[in-house]
Amino acid sequence: MIKLNVGLVAIAMVAGAAGGAHADVTDVSPTGFQLQVKAHIAAAADKVYATIVEPAKWWNPGHTWSKNAANLSIDAKAGGCFCEALPGGGSVEHLSVATAMPGKLLRMRGALGPFQGSGLAGSMSWEMTGAGQETDLVVTYDLGGHMVGGFGEWPQKADAMVSEQVARLKKFIETGSP
């Protein structure tokens, strides 16, 4: 197993914490990595889940192919798609839904963004534990397989991207603006 650069992990954790989310690359090996982002959200778990499945409202458009988050959708049922409509009739499947349990868990499979062109498989879980009007959200992304040239700094880059999305989700739920 490859040991992580403690400085890079600390930077990622501080960056995530600044947006109301705690980020951490939890494992790196020559064949993959795992990252985890945690956030405490001032809303009931059902509301958190309902907002997660509407990424057009909170996802950063800079992390889309079309540069327009309004083109994103999640069909929150097993076999459903976290997809993006592209101009000219094209589309992108970002992830496919494996498990949908409103207010508890949304698990999707696939390789996001720049990882799609490699021989990689992933699992992204959005797990909610709610108590009244408070929810603890844990987002875990496991990615593994073959990537030409190895993973290098990709675990930290992926962690920063996912951390940003979680922070935007939290802010949108709590303030109405991502």
More confident call, 20 vs 159? 159
pLDDT at residue number 11: 33
Q: Residue 114 carries which DSSP code?
A: G
Buried b (16+ CB within 10 A) or exposed e, 77-111: eeebbbbbbeeeeeebebbebbebeebeebbbbbb
> How far is residue 168's CA from residue 69's CA, in Å, rounded to a whole number?
12
The pair of structure tokens assigned to 78 is: 């097993």
> How far is residue 54's CA from residue 76's CA, in Å, rounded to a whole number?
10
Mean local confidence (pLDDT), 149-169: 96
Tens-digit pLDDT profile for residues 99-130: 999 999 999 999 999 999 999 999 999 999 99
pLDDT at residue number 64: 97
Supply the mean pLDDT for the chain: 90
Mean local confidence (pLDDT), 12-39: 77
Return the number of other C-beta atoms located less than 10 Å from residue 7's C-beta.
Answer: 8
Residues with Cβ within 8 Å of residue 157, at least 6 apart in sequence: none
User: Are 21 and 38 within 8 A, CB to CB?
Assistant: yes
Buried b (16+ CB within 10 A) or exposed e, 19-55: bbbbbbbbebeeebbbbbbbbebebbbebbbebbbeb
Tens-digit pLDDT profile for residues 57-101: 999 999 999 999 999 999 999 999 999 999 999 999 999 999 999
| Domains in the chain: ranges and CATH | 6-175 (3.30.530.20)
Q: How much is the pTM? A: 0.88
